[in-house]
Chain A
Amino acid sequence: MSNKRAGLNKFINEQPVLLLFVFFVLIMVVIKPSFVSINNVKNVLIDVSIYGVSALAMTIAIITGAFDLSLSANFAWGQIFFCFLLNSWGETPGAMLAALVVMLLSCILVGAFNGFVVVFLRVHAFIATMATGIILKGFSLVFTGGNMISTSNPYIRMMGRGTFLGLSYLTYIFIGFVLLAYYVMTFTRFGRGLYATGGNRKAAELSGINVNFSRFSIFLILGFAAGISGAMFVCLMRAGSVLYGTDLALTCVAATVVGGTPLTGGKGSVLRTVIGILLIYVLYKGLAFLGLQGYYNTMIRGLVLLTVVSLDAFMTRKDRW
């Protein structure tokens, strides 16, 4: 009996977010049963999937002690460039694959620039990535003239609309990346090196981990993830614009921190972030479903981020004065 209770306590202590998520879903089911209709669940999961891929990368970055505010701009650039390439290179599968690869490379290049500035010029990651984000946003605006670029490619339409066993293809892509990220972070030498780098950079360096390589590769991963998210978003919207996804970077941070990965680095897990982003989206979409739209919803998003980050900083601060 007591053993069982201890087990329950342990579960509550370790997985408060999961319980909160179940709690929110139950509340929504009671208030508005249509929230869990197959169609709505599918749509919420599509949104979760698109931002989720970036959130996984952001979690890995935060575990390593890095950060990327340019993720939003990179995401927007990915959409724009992908649409542009799709429109100009035609509709054959080969051309589409080439467009995807070139777009991903351009996003990774942005990540590489971030990595260069942060790791080798030793500029603080926040300031450096904020500035590159601004530069990239300006460049995207010049590239598009401020307009939206849309594409009418039928394959893209199929990717965004198609479902398998009731879930969108995009959700399966997300699940694939979750498994990949979990495998890399848990079972590979590279992943453990990232944990070590985030936990104590000096110690990691002394124990033979190439810290600079770890930190640099994080920015490549971030760029890659932003590109994948951008491509998935294009599949859904069949368009790209600078205005889409400006809240991406901070939503990813919120998802990471809500999931239970502290901003101090060295701890956390990508699986926790999956629960975190599910929780956040159930909250946002649930509130929207209950009629709290527009700026009130925005306000809630800001408040969630504010509360979560403050609480996290309050709990993990080392020097209690």
Chain B
Amino acid sequence: MRRQLPKRSCRLQFQIERGGRYMESNVIVSRRKKLIGVLREWGLVFSIIIITVIATIIRPAFLSGQNMLNILRAYSTIGIASFGMAYAVIGGGMDLSIGSTISLTAVITMLIVNSSTVATVAPASAALLVLLVGILIGATIGAINGAIMAAVNGKLAESFIITYAMQIVVGAIAQAIVRGNFQAAQYRSGLFKEFGIGITPVLFMLAVALIMQFLLVKTKFGRSLYFLGSNMSAAKMAGLKVRKVRFLAHTICGMCAGLAGVIVVARVGSASVLQGQNYELDALVCVAIGGTSLDGGTGSIMRTLLGVMVVGFMMTALNILGVQSNAQLIVRGAIIVSAVALDVLNKNLKLREVAQ
């Protein structure tokens, strides 16, 4: 009946994590349960299709390739940030500091690029330099988060408050650097501008998604992260280097935020301390919609990518319907509550199934 258990204990947890489907395949599954299973698997794709159909009926231009590209480009930076957030969440934590990290990288990126611009052309070396600097800044902030979390063995509560405090500190640093001023781009062309136009930001997002999904599924680190997120003490007893994994997860999360900060400057062509505002919120919405349990231990980057698309399509559709940005805030909050409540209900159902 049971598949042979792999030797490494982290694999065991990984299978348990995917166990819902495995167990269902062994019992006679009713038609209703099958339908629920299909909805669980393909619900995101269905919702993308439904949103697209509704928006297209109201405004046929929604379906045009240009509009699709615009949506994806606008949500590419949120996507990159959400992948990092997904790592933090899968590991049983949370990172609320990514918004400020994006603001800080954005203002520093703009300072570097503007200061190296000669005759409205941003040199290629500057573009590569800011990529490196941005990721490094993000990695540093993430590493501080990760080091504190690893040192205190924090639960979700600590990761909330500590990363929120980090958000305040980093935001204040960003303000101290530019003194609250808005910076406009002084370049008209160059490699850095190329980062933000056409399909390039989308390609960045897809590349990051592929790398991170590979890391998550195919490496020891990724499996340890799942194990850690679902049961930290068990992971420790199984001999995993829990602190190292947590540290790495938060560092990668910071790196993603740093990269998002660079790309967002290239895309928008300006930088201010408000650049990253609400990013942690959007990232959390995408992660939650992507089916990652905010308790940790489940989820995937590809589903988060689908979540980003759902959120992108939905917010654009809401714009088309004329819903103001303040009212969209209500929608975001409602999404988080309902996604998490559904997740909890889902888990209780599964527990009941297992008990039977």
Closest chain-B Cβ to A128's Cβ sits at a distance in Å of 6
Residue of A nearest to B232 (CB): A319
Q: Determine if A117 and B341 form an interchain contact, defined as CB atoms under 8 angstroms apart.
A: yes
Q: Assuming A126-B160, A298-B175, what are 20 further A-B pairs, CB within 8 angstroms?
A: A69-B160, A123-B337, A123-B341, A124-B294, A124-B340, A127-B340, A135-B334, A135-B337, A137-B333, A138-B329, A138-B330, A138-B331, A146-B326, A250-B164, A295-B180, A302-B171, A305-B168, A310-B162, A313-B154, A319-B233
List the B side residues contacting A184 at CB < 8 Å: none
List the B side residues contacting A139 at CB < 8 Å: 330
Closest chain-B Cβ to A129's Cβ sits at a distance in Å of 10
Contact residues of A: prevailing secondary structure: helix
Q: Determine if B328 and A296 form an interchain contact, defined as CB atoms under 8 angstroms apart.
A: no
Given contacts A135-B334, A303-B169, whether A141 and B329 have CB atoms under 8 Å apart is yes
Given contacts A67-B157, A302-B169, whether A131 and B326 have CB atoms under 8 Å apart is no
List the B side residues contacting A123 at CB < 8 Å: 337, 340-341, 344
Q: Which of A160-189 contact B (CB under 8 A)?
A: none
Assess whether A317 is interfacial by the CB under 8 Å rule: yes
Assess whether B148 is interfacial by the CB under 8 Å rule: yes
Q: Determine if B333 and A306 form an interchain contact, defined as CB atoms under 8 angstroms apart.
A: no
Q: Residue B326 contacts which of A128, A138, A294 (CB distance < 8 angstroms)?
A: A138
Q: Which of B318-347 contact A (CB under 8 A)?
A: 324, 326-334, 336-337, 340-341, 344-345
Closest chain-A Cβ to B174's Cβ sits at a distance in Å of 9
Give complex CA distance A218, B10 in Å. Answer: 39
Q: Determine if B169 and A131 form an interchain contact, defined as CB atoms under 8 angstroms apart.
A: no
Q: Which of B243-271 contact A (CB under 8 A)?
A: 243
Assess whether A4 is interfacial by the CB under 8 Å rule: no
Assess whether A301 is interfacial by the CB under 8 Å rule: yes
Q: Residue B295 contacts which of A67, A124, A137 (CB distance < 8 angstroms)?
A: A124
Closest chain-A Cβ to B176's Cβ sits at a distance in Å of 5
Q: Determine if B294 and A141 form an interchain contact, defined as CB atoms under 8 angstroms apart.
A: no
Residue of A nearest to B175 (CB): A295
List the A side residues contacting B172 at CB < 8 Å: 295-296, 298-299, 302
List the A side residues contacting B94 at CB < 8 Å: 126
Assess whether A277 is interfacial by the CB under 8 Å rule: no
Assess whether B71 is interfacial by the CB under 8 Å rule: no
List the A side residues contacting B331 at CB < 8 Å: 138
Assess whether A197 is interfacial by the CB under 8 Å rule: no
> Which residues of B does A touch, CB under 8 Å?
94, 148, 151-154, 156-158, 160-162, 164-169, 171-173, 175-176, 180, 233, 236, 242-243, 281, 294-295, 324, 326-334, 336-337, 340-341, 344-345, 348
> Which residues of A does B touch, CB under 8 Å?
67, 69, 117, 121-124, 126-128, 130-139, 141-142, 146, 247, 250, 253, 263, 294-296, 298-299, 301-303, 305-306, 309-310, 313-314, 317, 319, 321
Give complex CA distance A139, B334 in Å. Answer: 12
Interface centre among A247, A299, A313 (most CB of B within 10 A): A313
List the A side residues contacting B162 at CB < 8 Å: 306, 309-310, 313
Interface centre among A69, A131, A138, A301 (most CB of B within 10 A): A131
Q: Determine if B165 and A317 form an interchain contact, defined as CB atoms under 8 angstroms apart.
A: no
List the B side residues contacting A301 at CB < 8 Å: 168
Q: Determine if B161 and A253 form an interchain contact, defined as CB atoms under 8 angstroms apart.
A: yes
Residue of A nearest to B329 (CB): A138
Closest chain-B Cβ to A257's Cβ sits at a distance in Å of 9
Give complex CA distance A121, B345 in Å. Answer: 8
Q: Determine if B329 and A134 form an interchain contact, defined as CB atoms under 8 angstroms apart.
A: yes
Residue of A nearest to B281 (CB): A134
Give complex CA distance A321, B242 in Å. Answer: 10
Given contacts A142-B324, A253-B161, whether A310 and B333 have CB atoms under 8 Å apart is no
Closest chain-A Cβ to B148's Cβ sits at a distance in Å of 5
Give complex CA distance A321, B240 in Å. Answer: 12
Q: Residue A306 contacts which of B153, B157, B166, B340 (CB distance < 8 angstroms)?
A: B166
Q: Residue A135 contacts which of B148, B158, B330 (CB distance < 8 angstroms)?
A: B330
Give complex CA distance A137, B333 in Å. Answer: 10
Residue of B nearest to A140 (CB): B326
Interface centre among A117, A128, A134 (most CB of B within 10 A): A134
Closest chain-A Cβ to B100's Cβ sits at a distance in Å of 9
Closest chain-A Cβ to B161's Cβ sits at a distance in Å of 5
Give complex CA distance A135, B333 in Å. Answer: 5
List the B side residues contacting A136 at CB < 8 Å: 333
List the B side residues contacting A313 at CB < 8 Å: 152-154, 158, 162
23 contacts across the A-B interface (CB closer than 8 A):
A69-B160, A117-B337, A128-B340, A131-B340, A135-B330, A135-B333, A137-B329, A137-B333, A138-B326, A142-B324, A250-B168, A253-B161, A263-B158, A298-B168, A298-B175, A299-B176, A302-B165, A302-B167, A302-B169, A303-B169, A305-B165, A306-B165, A313-B152
Interface centre among A128, A302, A314 (most CB of B within 10 A): A302
Closest chain-B Cβ to A308's Cβ sits at a distance in Å of 9
List the A side residues contacting B157 at CB < 8 Å: 67, 126, 263
Q: Determine if A128 and B175 form an interchain contact, defined as CB atoms under 8 angstroms apart.
A: no
Q: Determine if B341 and A306 form an interchain contact, defined as CB atoms under 8 angstroms apart.
A: no
List the A side residues contacting B332 at CB < 8 Å: 134, 138
Give complex CA distance A296, B179 in Å. Answer: 11
Residue of A nearest to B327 (CB): A142
Give complex CA distance A298, B176 in Å. Answer: 10
Q: Determine if A309 and B333 form an interchain contact, defined as CB atoms under 8 angstroms apart.
A: no
Q: Determine if A302 and B166 form an interchain contact, defined as CB atoms under 8 angstroms apart.
A: yes
List the B side residues contacting A67 at CB < 8 Å: 157
List the B side residues contacting A132 at CB < 8 Å: 333, 337
Residue of A nearest to B336 (CB): A131
